[in-house]
A and B are shown apart, each in its own frame.
Chain A
Amino acid sequence: MSVAGKVALPRITGSTVVLCLGAGAALAGSVLAAVALPGVWNLLAPLLCLAGLGVAWLVWFRSRQALAAVGGQLQTMAASGEINLVPPRALGSMGQVVSPLNSLLESARNQIERLKGERRELQIHARVAETEKHNAEAIIFSISDAVLVTNRYDELLLANEAAEKLLNFKLAGNQRKNVDSVLGDATLVQLIRDTRSHGRSFTRKVVEHVVAAKGDGRTFNVTLSCVMNGSDEVSGVVAVLHDVTREKEISRMKTDFVSNVSHELKTPLASIKAYIEMLVDGEAESEETRQEFYEIISTETDRLHRLIENILNISRIESGVVKVVREPISLSGVAKQVLDVSSPQAKLKNQKLVEKLAPVYYQVEADHDMIYQAVMNLVSNAVKYTPEGGTVTITVGADERRNTGFCEVSDSGLGIPADDLPRIFDKFYRVQANNKMAKGTGLGLTLVKHIVEIVHGGTLSVTSEVGKGSTFRFELPLVK
């Protein structure tokens, strides 16, 4: 018993049971011998007891080994978090118990492996979805057009910075709020609602819409698209607002240009046609009158030619194919030539032409004909937009310190409204307020700017006050 007691000390209670069984068999043997065969068995009884104890110890020992293996394996699994099978060599008599346990462990291990696989897949999906969401947001936020995204309840889901600025709201704090409480633009709110409620029949449409802004309203092409879910139901609306104000303005300017140019072309053409018809019909009776008609036809043909040249010159300068002949020229000399040609026109309107010209030895390197054209356009404009009796002054000078020569044309004319000033050099642009004062194509100042800045690398500037007059000044580098 002392051996059994000593061996029973391990924690595994199953071993104790086996030990008790072995010891019980030995004890039963000795009791049986003592009761049934007192003579012979007196000798055999102790041996039988010893054998019984030996068997019992062996059984206990093997069981203990198997249980220790199983226990050890379970402890290893608990520590590592991984399921491993109990090695078969360690099973022994515990095989019956351990085999089903191994099957259970095998199944659990497979289940865990499968779940781990699924989890990895889900994590990848989640990362991809997250990346895609960031990409989509980055795209929407980088678009210069205003973008609004709403859900099926017309609540705001997303808006980019352009939309915030244009429609004057902040996305933060307004997400999931109904658009009618976020946007002040009732028409746009209605467009979003209509698109959502019409669903599939209005999957995508483009509407022109004017958004009220500080100063003038701006015109937008609003593209409204339904977002459909997997069941083919409308899950929201995307509205993209593209600013077409400038495009419309350019289109209007082109139409105006065609209209102006055709008018300008038709005027000399009308004279040419009318005088030729008069000659054909014999309406000019004297040779003197006929001569006068020929002269008119000739000057009007020149005028037509000049107009076409102006248009072509702008086009050539813009496309970079203009031929420039640079040579040292005197701005005072050019101004003098222009004044000579312009004085009859000024005289007709009783205007005073004042010249303040620097000595001709100040020279700039430039194309004479082009600079002549630029000064001529400035002087011609000054005469045209100055009422009768006004004054037009041409000043030519040099700033030796800055190494520049300048030409300044100022008038006591109508002046240009401040709103128009930034645009007067735009092609085809005409100041509406002064439109009636004189005819024009809106090309004269464009040509001046092109000649001074693009061709010669100089600078052209203007100052003006309505009712007092305007001053145009250009500067070119002096020849050293």
Chain B
Amino acid sequence: MSRKILVADDEAHILHVVSMKLRNAGYDVVTAVDGEEALELCKSECPDLVITDYQMPYMDGLELCLAMRATEATRNIPAIMLTARGFDISPADVEAAGIRAFLAKPFSPREVLRKVEELLGAPAGVV
């Protein structure tokens, strides 16, 4: 069974390109366009990893990660934050939100894939 990754970003193009990179590498990908939708999908889809943008409508990436820590089912899902303003987040928040890696926009899809593989290992069936 392949690993499942949730990608959350309000920019359709970013969502599209990250999803394609990960799918091409053999991962299952689910997408969300805002923080609230991402949280719902986290609960219903139980992904192995979340890649989220920071600035999103309704619930931003940090609030999403903090909310994930507050729910038993999603508590241990690691998160990668994809952001153009990572400096806005304090180290304490990073720790509390369980953010395992930051990638600054503009980012390299190759770099995203490398980070994902670091955290999850190569997807099943592609080794």
Contacts and interface: CB of A to CB of B under 8 A. Distances in A.
Nearest to A264: B84
Contact of A267 (B84, B88, B110): B84
Contact of A269 (B24, B60, B106): B106
A462 B122 CA distance: 56
A384 to B, nearest CB: 9
A263 interface: yes
A274 B14 contact: yes
A272 B106 contact: yes
A382 to B, nearest CB: 16
A262 interface: yes
Contact of A266 (B13, B60, B105, B110): B105
A300 B13 CA distance: 9
- Would you list the 6 A-B pairs with minimal beta carbon distance, nearest first? A270-B106, A266-B84, A270-B105, A273-B106, A271-B13, A263-B84
A95 B78 CA distance: 126
29 contacts: A259-B85, A262-B84, A262-B85, A263-B85, A266-B105, A266-B106, A267-B84, A267-B105, A270-B84, A271-B11, A271-B13, A271-B14, A273-B108, A274-B14, A274-B17, A274-B106, A277-B108, A278-B20, A278-B109, A281-B110, A283-B21, A296-B13, A300-B13, A436-B57, A436-B59, A436-B60, A437-B58, A438-B57, A439-B57
A274 B14 CA distance: 8
Given A274-B18, A274-B109, A275-B13, 11 more contacts: A262-B84, A270-B105, A274-B13, A274-B106, A274-B107, A274-B108, A277-B109, A283-B24, A436-B57, A436-B60, A438-B57
Contacts of A263: 55, 84-85
Contacts of A277: 108-110
Contact of B14 (A270, A281, A437, A439): A270
Give the bracket for the number of chain A residues in contact with chain B: 20 to 34
B11 A267 contact: yes
Interface of B: 10-11, 13-14, 16-18, 20-21, 24, 55, 57-60, 84-85, 88, 105-110
B57 A437 contact: yes
A267 B85 CA distance: 11
A36 B24 CA distance: 175
A437 B59 CA distance: 9
Nearest to A384: B57
Contacts, number: 66
A89 B106 CA distance: 117
Contacts of A438: 57
B23 to A, nearest CB: 10
Interface of A is mostly: helix
A296 B17 CA distance: 10
Nearest to A438: B57
Interface in A293-312: 296, 300
A442 to B, nearest CB: 14
A259 B85 CA distance: 8
Nearest to A300: B13
A273 B13 CA distance: 11
Contacts of A269: 105-106
B72 to A, nearest CB: 26
Interface string A432-445: 00001111000000
A255 B101 CA distance: 26
Contacts of B106: 266, 269-270, 272-274
A269 B105 CA distance: 8
A437 to B, nearest CB: 6
Given A263-B84, A271-B14, A278-B20, A439 B108 contact: no
Interface in A240-286: 259, 262-263, 266-267, 269-275, 277-278, 281, 283
Contacts of B20: 278, 283
B55 A275 contact: no
B78 to A, nearest CB: 22
Contacts of B59: 436
Contacts of A283: 20-21, 24, 109
A281 B17 CA distance: 13
B58 A273 contact: no
A61 to B, nearest CB: 118
A283 B106 CA distance: 18
Contact of A275 (B11, B17, B58, B110): B17
A273 B111 CA distance: 12
